[in-house]
Amino acid sequence: AKRWQHTSARPALNSVTPDDIAHFAQFLPQNAILSTLSPVSVAPAEIEQYNSDWMGKYRGKSTTVLRPHTTEQVSKILKWCHERRIGVVPQGGNTGLVGGSVPIEDELILSLGNMSKVRSFDPVSGALVADAGCILEALTEHIATHDHIMPLDLGAKGSCQIGGNVSTNAGGLRLLRYGSLHGSVLGLEVVLPDGTILDNLSTLRKDNTGYDLKQLFIGAEGTLGVVTGVSILTSAAPRAVNNVILALPRFENVLPLFKSTRRHLSEILSAFEFIDRTAYELAVKHGQGKGLTNEESEGAECFVLLETSGGSKEHDEEKLNALLETLLESDPPLINTGVLSQSPTQFASLWRLREGVTEAVSKEGKAYKYDISIPLASFKDVVDATKEQLRKKGLLHENAVKHVLGYGHVGDGNLHLNIVAAAYTQEIEAALEPFVYELVSSYKGSISAEHGIGAMKTHAIHYSKSAVAVDVMKRIKHLFDPHGIMNPGKVLE
């Protein structure tokens, strides 16, 4: 993991001291302060989970985790840290994949987990207002009782928080249908670095009264303030959902398949997800759902999971069956086989295959993750070129890189290129970077489609943003956070 050092361009920051803990204890309940410092003095093991990221790739050295219950408490914490020049890392579910949610040095960790109340839900407009620390799955379950669904869904749903989702501008599995959070978030409550509470928690669909400030915090990765409340537009739950897994003989069929699927399914298509053969085999190997029998999957180069969400099960099934017939009858057939889920259990199991790839990969080894936007037709070329690069460097073997795989959100032009290694080593990283970034740049793509910049890609932001854009970002950062306390070393170097 890269280490950030204080530079003359960045103001120096102070470590948390026992005096700071004594100050926090004046307004925070005992259970909201976890610190290895006196007078709290917990064992370092108790804060280990907050210092380590989901992949086991990034590790901070924080002594102190604060878990406030209210927005006012967050405000008091930031006001103090602003005055004392203490770095603060906001942390949600800690499922981020770019090292953004853990400290680089010994910044204070501000965990939102205790702020987990639903504030309101309007079943007429679908507007949901919730504390930032609400777990995505808990919100999904809460509004399911009102026959509504969240506009986003991702494999980390059981741990990630809505505030973390907003702060990373998470994409996920439903973006094709419901669009990005820049469209569905209606308002935010944010505590600015100096402790000021910016209450923009509107539930209005339309509000053109000057600058749309909330947009700045969507995807800011905790560098501009702490999101404490989220107002988000949810949709009426579809009456019928179906999913199908398709086995394709060749990658080249994905593009014509996508075109054909869109034409046949039009408004009921709600997801179109891609996994290559290696990703499929890893998911199966590590028990992530069941898809096809060995016979059905034999000879397939890749797989597509598609989902429909519509008004009538029979009507949607009719459309899906007509699509499957067309695909099988085309000359040569675009697919080897297609299996339509027959029960809610099978539906969930098919989804598990796709959603479970990340978990399967983490069981298999240490993953280098490149989350890129490139033209869909180049997905395979990028995976192949990366494999070839590692082969040329003599790194493609059991003790170094075990697998190179590609999967992702085809419908959004977003490929997840994962390199699974026996261990994180400088040699592998040097073979991958800047190689992958230059490859992406040659396609005029993005080096971060949905996971963000975090600590991982600060040095590479110029591959996807102009010098002018980075300069404007720095000026915005300085305006909100003149002392540079918010998530230092993340997004901007």
**373 touches ligand 2HG by CB under 6 A:** no
Q: Residue numbers of the site for ligand FAD (CB under 6 A)?
A: 54, 89-97, 100-101, 112, 132, 154-156, 160-161, 163-165, 167-168, 170-172, 221-222, 226-227, 358-359, 450-451, 454, 487, 490
In sequence order, the β-bridge partners of residue 407 are: 275, 416
CB of 415 within 8 A of CB of 454?
Answer: no
Q: Name residues contacting ligand 2HG, limited to 341-360 (CB under 6 A).
A: 357-358
Q: Find the binder of ligand 2HG among 148, 214, 319, 416 (CB under 6 A).
A: 416
Q: Name residues contacting ligand 2HG, limited to 118-177 (CB under 6 A).
A: 155
**418 touches ligand 2HG by CB under 6 A:** yes
Q: Find the binder of ligand 2HG among 67, 82, 352, 369 (CB under 6 A).
A: 369
| Among ligand 2HG, ligand FAD, none, partner that 165 touches (CB below 5 to 8 angstroms by kind) | ligand FAD
Nearest approach, Cβ of residue 423 and ligand 2HG (Å): 18
| Among ligand 2HG, ligand FAD, none, partner that 418 touches (CB below 5 to 8 angstroms by kind) | ligand 2HG
Backbone angles phi, psi at 461, to 5 degrees: -60, -30
Which residue of the chain is nearest ligand FAD when measured via CB? 164
Nearest approach, Cβ of residue 375 and ligand 2HG (Å): 18
The Cα–Cα gap between 200 and 213 comes to 8
Query: Who contacts 361 (Cβ-Cβ below 8 Å, separation ≥6)?
Result: 279, 282, 367, 405, 418, 420
Token pair 């906001």: residue: 90
Closest to ligand 2HG by CB, 98 vs 247, is 98
| Among ligand 2HG, ligand FAD, none, partner that 104 touches (CB below 5 to 8 angstroms by kind) | none
**454 touches ligand 2HG by CB under 6 A:** no
Distances (CA, A) of 82 to 79, 132, 438: 5, 21, 38
The Cα–Cα gap between 338 and 273 comes to 14
User: Letter for the amino acid at 323?
Assistant: L
Nearest approach, Cβ of residue 66 and ligand FAD (Å): 13
- For residue 387, give both structure tokens: 């494999």
| Among ligand FAD, ligand 2HG, none, partner that 310 touches (CB below 5 to 8 angstroms by kind) | none
**457 touches ligand 2HG by CB under 6 A:** no
Closest to ligand 2HG by CB, 369 vs 380, is 369
Closest to ligand FAD by CB, 84 vs 174, is 174
Closest to ligand 2HG by CB, 32 vs 162, is 162
Nearest approach, Cβ of residue 415 and ligand 2HG (Å): 9
Applying CB under 6 A, the residues found at the interface with ligand 2HG are 97, 155, 357-358, 369, 371, 408, 416, 418
